[in-house]
Structure 1
Amino acid sequence: MAPKFPKFQRLAGKEIPDLVSGFPSGFQDFPPGFRGFSGFSPRFPPFPGFPELLCRTLGSSRTCQAGWKSHGSSCYSFSMDSLGWASARNACADLGAHLVVVNSELEQMFLLENSDRSASYWLGASDGVKEGKWEWVTGEEPNFRFWDVWVTDPDKEHKDCGAIGPKGFWIYERCSHPHRWICEKSGNC
């Protein structure tokens, strides 16, 4: 007789075989050495909502997937590569996230503590729609600002994207300039 695992018997009203049958056909046919996407193994490729469903079902206290750092109710991923602002925004979207939106001094300090202080990181802030009117990628207006007010930049009107500079202050940058970036998304559980 097969052992019984009550927590695994049903997931969101589906028997496990039914849940697994929802994967695309041939989901085990990946090339040798393929590690999958976003930390998934090649046997189980990304399945929308599966990590959250599994997390809730198993009662896990873990809120962020491997490689992401937790702060408050959000998860953060700090890139090691450099891209322009729009490409960094798209890279975050591919992970189900957005460029970081800083809402408090505590969040700003968390970002500084977890970043490489010799690099700049893209924020999810831009004034590309109307010069001087900064908006987060979420459409909100920043209610917290940490701009480097001591720097005079005569080229500021050509710099429409915001970044956290190596000193920890927010800086104006040309959106095409490559920087590292920080993605933010809600915790899974």
Structure 2
Amino acid sequence: MEEKMMKEEFMPEDSSPVPMKARFNFCPDGWFSHGSRCLLFVNIPMSWYNAEEHCNSMGANLASVSNPREYSYLQHITKTGGQSIVWLGGFYLQGRWLWIDREGLYYTNWYAQSTSSSYPCMYLRTTNGWGNTQCTSGYRFICSKNPFGC
């Protein structure tokens, strides 16, 4: 996939800034732009580990969630892809839940939490909240990256 990027032109100090509506979408073709992130729904079932590796190959990670609005948007992408469950980037390690992209896990939206040590990988549910299961389950997934991460 080819990324389309526009060069910023030099602006003299006395010129006015570019209005917000004139900003360009720096996400690669096929990716959704949401907030400061680019998101990609991958319609191929994989284990949590393989899904994260697939995202890594595109300079991304499995998606993290920092607020209800983001979660709602990820649910929308999942429904649009014809799914009810997708992998998220949450995992359980050494007694706590973490995001694979190193974001802080301050917002939680558990629907039903299974034993964390036996089911250490997190998935999104389109109906309500997220859950956790074995990492070897095969689900579709959402990759997330910063458009300016290079």
**TM-score if structure 1 supplies the norm length?**
0.64
Task: Report if aligned partners of 1:64, 1:187 keep a CA contact under 8 Å in 2.
Answer: yes
Task: Report if aligned partners of 2:45, 2:139 keep a CA contact under 8 Å in 1.
Answer: yes
Say whether residues 1:88 and 2:48 are aligned partners: no
| 1:58 shift after superposition | 6.9
Q: Distance in 2 between matches of 1:113 and 1:89?
A: 21
- Picking from 112, 136, 151, the partner of 2:75 is 112
Q: Distance in 1 between matches of 2:126 and 2:67?
A: 19
- Picking from 78, 83, 94, the partner of 1:130 is 94
Report the structure number with the largest CA radius of gyration. Answer: 1
Q: Distance in 1 between matches of 2:113 and 2:73?
A: 27
Q: Which has the higher helix share?
A: 1
- Picking from 124, 131, 143, the partner of 1:171 is 131
| 1:188 shift after superposition | 4.4
Determine what percentage of the aligned residue pairs are the same residue: 24
Residue aligning to 1:57: 7
Residue aligning to 2:64: 101
Task: Report if aligned partners of 1:112, 1:168 keep a CA contact under 8 Å in 2.
Answer: no
Residue aligning to 2:145: 185
Q: Distance in 2 between matches of 1:152 and 1:107?
A: 20
Q: Distance in 2 between matches of 1:184 and 1:152?
A: 24
**TM-score if structure 2 supplies the norm length?**
0.79
Structure 1: state its 5+ residue gaps.
1-37, 41-50
Task: Report if aligned partners of 1:134, 1:141 keep a CA contact under 8 Å in 2.
Answer: no
Name the CA shift for 1:122/1:174 in 2 (closer, same or farther; >3 Å).
same
Listed one character per residue, the Cα deviations across residues 37-76 of structure 1 (whole Å, up to 9, x for unaligned) are x2x4xxxxxxxxxx4xx61327771221111001011000
Name the CA shift for 1:144/1:152 in 2 (closer, same or farther; >3 Å).
closer
Q: Which has the higher strand share?
A: 2
Q: How many residues align?
A: 134
Q: Distance in 2 between matches of 1:143 and 1:183?
A: 20
Q: Distance in 2 between matches of 1:158 and 1:141?
A: 22
Q: Secondary structure at the match of 2:94?
A: coil
| 1:178 shift after superposition | 0.6
- List structure 1 runs of 4+ shifted beyond 4 angstroms: none
| 1:172 shift after superposition | 0.8
Q: Provide the alpha-carbon RMSD of the alignment.
A: 2.3
